[in-house]
Amino acid sequence: MPSKEKIVSNLSLIHQLQNTLKKVFKVNINTHSSNDMIQSEKFLQSVLDGIEDSIRIVDRDFNIVFLNEMAVKRAGNSGKNMIGGKCYEESWNNSKPCPHCATWKCFESDKPQQSLTTYKLNGSERYLELLSFPIKNDVGKTIYAIEFERDITERKNLEQEREEQRKELSERVQELKLAYKELQSIHNQLLQAEKLASIGQITSCLAHELDSPLTTISGHCELLEEDLKNEKALSRLTVINNQVLRCQKTIREILDFSRKSRGIKTLQDINTLIKNTISLMEHVLKVNKIQINLNLDDKIPQVSVDENQMQQVFFNLLRNSIDAMPDGGEIKISSIFKQDTNTLELSFDDTGYGIQKADMNSIFEPFFTTKAPGKGTGLGLNICIDIMKNHGGDIFVKSNEGKGTSFIVFLPVNEGNTT
């Protein structure tokens, strides 16, 4: 279909020609030999021959009364003999006005009309845009119509090509979306695999942690069998209860950590999450002779995070520090709220052997590890930074080889999510 701008342009041209056209046909009807008719026809012919579109002028009976040079060329040898014939017969070989005809609508409405049709040329399909503009008499009745025929095959082919490209692009976008979902699924599997690897490392420690209270329970049960009526029975039952609660607490923490994250963010106290993670690793820290030094700002605001994912970040950072201090050492953990940037800054500083300069740019890459075979998967830090990015935060590392490493975690505090 023609654009609004082209229709306006064509209308402007037609309005400029209308006075001349009226003169031509008024003289043509009343004075066939006047000089005015000859001069007007020459002027009209010259103007319309300069237009590259095929142009015909027809009367209300669809008789062709004028053809420009382009219309004659398109008609071939028969073009000059078309004057006086019916346009639908001469141009389309039909016995009545064509279904796609815009001219009969122009006569009925006294307004410009447009339509689109196709035709065959040398076996290939061509697109033709048809425009029809009224020429009215003094009382506003349309007595002639100017028909413009414009071959827009190249434009239509270009539009179709663009549409095919758009569809192909849409298909590629869908493929990328599916690939992204698949990558997300793989990432979630890796996330869970890393948790399972972490749990495997603390399983042996868990056995020791549970063995001591269970032994105590067993011993007191034997004593109860002997002294059930003894006054000390109540106090021994209290000891048993405390030890059972200790077992339940340890097991519950491990189960909470090992479950899959639901991906739901809730308001959390970051200091509490850090302490809970330390509690989970209490026996590991004790066995490896690691001291924890906490410097947590008790006035930091709560933030909206995925509790399980955030604990996994803290767990992985602590585990890395423990592995870097095989002979024991100290981990300093601090938290502070930076009001100027509306950000929480968390620091995990250890006194381990540090990171070599050659490895600094690779430590966050998946499957990169400096640990001995079987000691690490190389996913921990990659998962940590991925979780922080998903929370709008980041992790940076500083290390002094042989003296220790600092991991600095930045977590934004969004307005409306603070208390």
pLDDT bin (cut points 50, 70, 90) of residue 282 is confident
pLDDT score recorded for residue 249? 63
User: What's 299's domain CATH number?
Assistant: 3.30.565.10
Residues 193 and 296 in one domain: no
pLDDT score recorded for residue 53? 79
pLDDT bin (cut points 50, 70, 90) of residue 44 is low
pLDDT(36) > 70: no
Lowest mean pLDDT among 128-137, 186-195, 270-279, 393-402: 186-195
Lowest mean pLDDT among 237-241, 293-297, 381-385, 397-401: 237-241
Among 124, 151, 178, residue at a domain's last position: 151
Among 91, 119, 151, residue at a domain's last position: 151
Residues 159 and 50 in one domain: no
CA angle 214, 203, 323 (to 5 degrees): 125
Contact between 30 and 24 under an 8 Å Cβ cutoff? The reply is no
pLDDT score recorded for residue 45? 66
HSE-CB for 154 with a 13 A CA cutoff: 2
pLDDT(377) > 60: no
The DSSP letter of residue 118 is E
Residues 37 and 144 in one domain: yes
Residues 55 and 131 in one domain: yes
CA distance 332 to 226: 49
Residues 286 and 393 in one domain: yes
pLDDT score recorded for residue 344? 95
pLDDT score recorded for residue 302? 93
Residues 414 and 295 in one domain: yes
Radius of gyration of the chain (CA): 44
Give the model confidence (pLDDT) of 196-218 as tens digits.
666 655 655 665 566 667 666 76
Backbone region of residue 363 per phi and psi (left: phi > 0; alpha: psi in -120 to 50; beta: other values): alpha
- The strand order across the sheet containing 329-338 reads 290-296, 329-338, 343-350, 404-412, 394-400
User: What's 106's domain CATH number?
Assistant: 3.30.450.20
| Domains contained in the chain, number | 3
pLDDT(27) > 50: no
Contact between 352 and 330 under an 8 Å Cβ cutoff? The reply is no
Residues 9 and 84 in one domain: yes
pLDDT(59) > 50: yes
CA distance 403 to 267: 36
Mean pLDDT of the residues in the chain: 76
Provide mean pLDDT across the span 179-187.
76
Give the model confidence (pLDDT) of 390-410 as tens digits.
899 999 999 888 889 999 999
Residues 24 and 82 in one domain: yes
Among 228, 260, 292, residue at a domain's last position: 260
Strand partners, 256: none
Greater pLDDT, 381 or 11 = 381
Give the model confidence (pLDDT) of 99-127 as tens digits.
778 888 888 888 889 888 887 777 788 88
Could you please report the per-residue DSSP string of 285-325? Answer: HHHTTEEEEEEE-TTPPPEEE-HHHHHHHHHHHHHHHHHT-
Greater pLDDT, 325 or 191 = 325
Provide mean pLDDT across the span 184-194.
68
First to last CA, the chain: 60
pLDDT score recorded for residue 140? 81
Tell which residue, 255, 246, 267, 321, has the closest CA to residue 291: 321
Which residues neighbour 100 within 8 Å (Cβ) at sequence distance 6 or greater? 115, 116, 117, 130
And the tokens for 146? 């100017």
pLDDT score recorded for residue 12? 42
Provide mean pLDDT across the span 167-180.
86
Residues 252 and 358 in one domain: no
Give the model confidence (pLDDT) of 303-322 as tens digits.
999 888 898 889 889 988 99
Residue ranges in 31-152 assigned as alpha helix (H): 35-49, 69-75, 87-92, 103-109
CA distance 306 to 264: 6
Contact between 226 and 267 under an 8 Å Cβ cutoff? The reply is no
Greater pLDDT, 8 or 162 = 162
Residues 219 and 361 in one domain: no
Residues 111 and 122 in one domain: yes
Greater pLDDT, 365 or 160 = 160
What range does the domain containing 191 cover? 154-260
pLDDT score recorded for residue 40? 57
pLDDT score recorded for residue 350? 94
Residues 116 and 19 in one domain: yes
CA distance 259 to 192: 8
pLDDT bin (cut points 50, 70, 90) of residue 225 is low
Provide mean pLDDT across the span 265-279.
91
